């Protein structure tokens, strides 16, 4: 089990990353808090010996995505949850909010690759390792996700 100080340090480093992934997948603050506790509890109890900061971050991202997926699939979770996420977006700039709403509207399979590629900067191969997908599959998802964003955001080119 990791020391409390180490875990708190990880929370400070990766809280924003986890929050963004929660925003991509979840709908309310309560679920976000659950994911936070779940992810960092696993971190604290994990015996993985991280080779680098990048290795550690990739692990956090993978665990967060899996935790979100598990939460969404949970039999006991109510599907009729208040759309609190909309209110958090409302606090953002209109242009920012519009872009995020477009991303959130994408089918689930494209959200992760778009976020990991265009925000976190991971190459397709790394995204494949994080998500447990074939690199070519990632390329395909990126390509299709990019096209959807292009359609939604009014035809502007999205860099590769």
Partner 1 sequence: MENKLRSAFDAVQAEEGVKAGTKDFLHQRLYAGRSKTRAVPKRLAACFVAVFLCVSGYFSYFTPVAAVSIDINPSLELAVNRFDRVIDVTGYNADGQALAEELSLRHMYYEDAVNAVTENEMVAACLAAGEVLEITVAGKSETRTAEMERCLSACNHVTEEQIHCADHWNDLKSAHQAGLSLGKYRAYLEAREENPELTLEEVQDMTMRELHELSECSDKETYGQGAGWGQQTGGVGQGGHGGTKGHGKHHQE
Regarding 127 and contact with partner 1 (CB under 8 A), the answer is no
Distance CA 21, CA 27 (A): 11
| CA pseudo-torsion sign 101, 104, 106, 110 | positive
CB-nearer residue toward partner 1: 49 or 95: 95
Regarding 118 and contact with partner 1 (CB under 8 A), the answer is yes
CB-nearer residue toward partner 1: 33 or 54: 33
Least distance from partner 1 to the Cβ atom of residue 75, Å: 24
Least distance from partner 1 to the Cβ atom of residue 71, Å: 15
Judge whether 85 and 32 are in contact, CB under 8 Å. Answer: no
The DSSP string of 91-148 is: TS-HHHHHHHHHHHHS-HHHHHHHHHHHTS---HHHHHHHHT--HHHHHHHHHHHHHH
Give residues in contact with partner 1 (CB under 8 A). 1, 4, 7-8, 11-12, 15-16, 18-20, 23, 29, 32-33, 36-37, 40-41, 44-45, 92-93, 95-97, 99-100, 103, 114-115, 118-119, 149-150, 153, 156-159
């Amino acid at each position: 089990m990791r020391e409390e100080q180490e875990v708190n340090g990880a929370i400070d480093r990766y809280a924003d990353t986890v929050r963004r992934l929660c925003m991509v997948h979840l709908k309310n603050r309560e679920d976000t808090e659950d994911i936070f506790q779940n992810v960092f509890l696993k971190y604290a109890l994990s015996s993985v010996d991280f080779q680098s900061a990048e290795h550690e971050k990739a692990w956090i991202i993978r665990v967060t995505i899996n935790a979100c997926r598990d939460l969404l699939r949970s039999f006991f979770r109510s599907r009729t949850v208040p759309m609190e996420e909309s209110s958090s977006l409302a606090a953002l700039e209109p242009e920012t909010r519009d872009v995020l709403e477009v991303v959130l509207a994408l089918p689930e399979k494209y959200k992760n690759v778009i976020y990991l590629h265009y925000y976190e900067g991971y190459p397709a191969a790394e995204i494949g390792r994080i998500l447990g997908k074939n690199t070519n599959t990632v390329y395909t998802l990126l390509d299709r996700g990019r096209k959807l964003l292009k359609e939604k955001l009014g035809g502007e080119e999205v860099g590769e």
